Amino acid sequence: MHTVAIVALDGVVPFDLSIPTEVFRHVRLPFGGPGYQVRVCGLTPEVHAGAFRVKTHHGLGSLARADTIFLPGIMDLSAPVPPALLKALRAAAGRGTRIASICTGAFLLAATGLLDGLRATTHWMAAEELARRHPAIQVDPNVLYVDNGQLLTSAGAAAGLDLCLHLVRRDHGAAVAADAARLAVMPLERDGGQSQFITHVPPAPEGASLEPLLHWMEDHLHRPLTLQALARKAAMSERTLSRHFREQTGTTPLQWLLHARVRRAQHLLETTSQSVEAIAAKVGFGSLTTFREHFQRFVATSPLAYRRAFRGGLEGLSAGGRSAPPPPGAPRRTRAAS
């Protein structure tokens, strides 16, 4: 089973510590089994976490047996990073272990030198300080997370949820990630990049005026829906509809529709044996070429490569307990902030 080790130091941010603990602990695979084993590791058996103290059951030695290591944020950026942690992280990186940070946990990862020459992020309030201390890192304060493959960093607070769900999605596919998102009561899509990791169209806020229209659009993705047709269905002018769409969904009717069609296609590619041509028609793309262009734009790979990677990962795990890797040639992802 994939083991996630979460490092808890004195001064750990409790919210950041709880995010990977709860997300990965509740992941369930299609056959019902757990997706991850979670261990909270500390330098000492008990650590200070602000208003309370946390007891840890594992030491830093557990990092040597982890598949993924998480570094939650720390409250005091002036506190020295324990040499034992730096040594353990560098050794883990040398073994190919995946290492991710949440919020100011990026300062711990940066102290190892592993992020030098790479793009990274942290809480926007700490981004300038991270860049000052580590000029070799390309600090981007405007994104929710940065995925460099083996090394990942996220912005503060809820961005840690985005990163965790992204990793679940990378490991086990969209269907498992969607279930994890529902358990976390997390919106399945946040404004910005990386929407390819969401399989279901998020409903509008309860009681929002566009809610009935959005559900109707979901049910009629196969039809050639124009702005004029949508305005007529909503009983409002095209201009008014576009304004309400922007206010309530953060995007335009056309972009929302394209995202919805691609997400539906992802789900069908993962869960059915229908041909790519049949799926393109079923989700409302007028031609296979148009479907491939939009799929490539949103998912950064082709429909066939996506199916090979994620349908295979859902049907069965390898002997080593890992799911299929990301599609060959797919670029490393960065989730843009809203």
DSSP state of 190: -
Sign of the torsion formed by the C-alpha atoms of 295, 300, 303 and 306 = negative
> Rounded CA gap, 197 and 209, in Å?
27
Catalytic residue among 100, 102, 103, 175: 103
| Neighbouring residues of 226: CB distance < 8 A, sequence distance ≥ 6 | none
Q: How far apart are the first and last CA of the chain?
A: 34
Helices vs. strands in the chain: H and E counts, helices first: 13, 11
Structure token pair of residue 227: 């702005």
272: left (phi over 0), alpha (psi -120 to 50) or beta: beta
| Residue 336, strand partner residues | 143
Structure token pair of residue 205: 């806020």
Would you call 165 helix, strand, or coil by DSSP?
helix
CB 239 within 8 A of CB 233: no
Query: Is 164 part of the annotated catalytic residue set?
Result: no
Beta strands 36-42 and 2-8, pairing class: parallel
Sign of the torsion formed by the C-alpha atoms of 286, 292, 293 and 298 = positive
Structure token pair of residue 117: 């020459």
Beta strands 151-154 and 143-147, pairing class: antiparallel
Q: For residue 141, give the nearest of 119, 124, 129 by alpha carbon.
A: 124
> Rounded CA gap, 249 and 281, in Å?
26
Helix residue spans in the chain (DSSP H) = 14-25, 83-94, 105-110, 127-133, 159-172, 174-183, 211-219, 227-234, 238-249, 253-271, 276-282, 288-299, 303-315
> Hey, which residues are catalytic here?
103
